[in-house]
Structure 1
Amino acid sequence: MNEKIHQLLARYEKHIIGQTTNLRLLLCAILSGGHVLLEGVPGTGKTKTVRTLADLLGGTFQRIQFTPDLLPSDITGSMIYNMKSGTFETLKGPVFTNILLADEINRTPAKTQAALLEAMEEKQVTIQGKTYPLPTVFFVVATQNPLEFEGTYPLPEAQQDRFLFKLIIDFPSFEEEKRVLEQMITHASIAKEMAAVFSMETFTTIKAEIEQVKVSDEILAYILQIVRSTRESETIRFGASTRAGIAIGKTAQVWAYMEGRDYVIPDDVKIVVKPSLRHRIQLSPHVELEGGTIDQAIEELVGTTPVPR
């Protein structure tokens, strides 16, 4: 199965240039059964990144553009009256898919945000009193634009905590951006390689194999020490919850599997700890005034935590 994953990543990187680490972390998140908050300025390929992953996994894909007038039923679905048959029928919303892109989730009111977050947590949707299960593989990627704040409804910290990862899409390097321009301007097509690498059934089998990856007591203690240090540090105002430790442990398992190991090592933890924590903690006011960032605070905490041997 590992060979299939490497094949998928190789094709993924041909389509999405300059985001190698983020691509691996996205795949890590979906294999962990979690969801991702994706932050980046417009034009950095967020939509293409998610759509390409859906194509390569052989899953269904839906995109919702979040706006201030979007209703919860526009996401989950509703009951409609069929005049021909004289009965009510259930019209399922775009949430019934394998991979859902929630574009600019902070542009819709809290009530609509809550409808999506409930589906993410419960893996089911209730329409007019009747409950419908979502697909076994259900993965939400919600995007945010960090530049504009007018007319937005920021996600509260408690709701951000429901996302497994927060990934930052940055601009590519000069050479990588040049390759993107060449690919798009010269219409260099690689559509033939867009065929799915494996089916959703194979994907489910891989998830079962990942559960067998061993996490030793020493690694569990290492993860817990990092999480608890966020609550004790003077640079952090609000520390991470137990859910953060679970997220780090699960994603470290997947990363180890992707690296071809059946056991987790400290380096696996170090790779996933930043995207697992950056949306779950808040800096102290004096650190923010001094220009400190959350990523820097996490790096310092991890650097001062003793590594198990």
Structure 2
Amino acid sequence: MILVFGSSGQVATELRERLPDAMFLGRAQADLSKPSDIVRTIAEIRPEAIINAAAYTAVDKAEEEEALALKINADAPRMMAQAAASLDIPLVHISTDYVFDGSGEEPFPTDAETAPLGAYGRTKLAGEAAIAAIAPTCAILRTSWVFSPHGANFLKTMLRLSETRDRLTIVADQVGGPTPASAIAAACVKIAGLLKDDPSKAGTFHFSGAPDVSWADFAREIFRQAGRPVSVEDIPTSAYPTPARRPLNSRLDCRSLSAVGLDRPDWKAGVAETLAKLGVTA
């Protein structure tokens, strides 16, 4: 049995469809802001593998709540890693492109120097370091720009705004790979299975949608597929200030995926799939 931390988030919701026999622990069952209970919980359940799909993801709010974000994004995964190591089971942990500073225009390889720009990235990087130091059979899956029919995400925000707006200004100097949550969930399941059979597959992987695109062009494709007559004006990040700095370059070098038999997902196909699930037609 696989144990999943997370219950209602985008990836956790997709995991439910793929793992009907898994155990899902949401905040009511496992409060990650109180990580001391995690080792005992895992020891009682004794799963065959752990997937951590839970995180503190409020990027701007993390600037004010870094201590809380650190508990959820670093201390809790550390406890998961300790439990996984003691039971000798695989741990798959989802991380983020925010561990990099977004400099340059080339995709970041898995071994690139990390330099988070803000609290969210710092806490996620701390979680990566804790897991890698403790759990020998772990996979850290860095991803970016997650979207799905569930929860709050850029695609759903664009659809909502298109109901009342025919023109939007969207940041065009941030570039990355939009990634369907369904593809992330499928990757987590596959990697967990591979680690059970071959622990040597452990490591850090980059997994993002292809091709890389700006937020503005991502929005244009959403509106095109949804049949929404919304014009998009490109603006620089400087014209849309936020409490937390965003990386301009979120491109991830995903060549590491070949080691686990995965390819980058086609995000345009993911948009079509998401719109269909939402009942949106052109």
With the shorter chain as reference, the TM-score category is: under 0.3
TM-score of the two chains, using structure 1 as the length reference: 0.25
TM-score of the two chains, using structure 2 as the length reference: 0.27
Q: Highest Rg: 1 or 2?
A: 1
